[in-house]
Amino acid sequence: MAECSELDCENVAAVRLYVPWDADRNVCSAHARALVQQDGVVAEPLDGAEDDWS
């Protein structure tokens, strides 16, 4: 699995974010939880990513 694309984060990417005003990127679940709260951002779990979303 690839690493989270956010700066200074070494966690495994678990989610693909589709960001209307920026490039799409793969991020860890912690960053996805924060970033997906912005209007227009859509999150899609990556195939094979095992993460606890609860």
Helix (H) or strand (E) holding 34: helix 29-35
Mean pLDDT of 36-52: 85
User: Which is higher by pLDDT, 52 or 11?
Assistant: 11
According to the model, what pLDDT value does residue 54 have?
41
Sign of CA dihedral 42, 48, 52, 54: positive
According to the model, what pLDDT value does residue 47 have?
87
Chain-centre distance of CA 42, in angstroms?
9
With a cut of 80, say whether residue 41 has pLDDT above it.
yes
Least confident window among 1-5, 17-21, 32-36: 1-5
According to the model, what pLDDT value does residue 50 have?
65
**Are 16 and 44 in contact, with CB atoms under 8 Å apart?**
yes
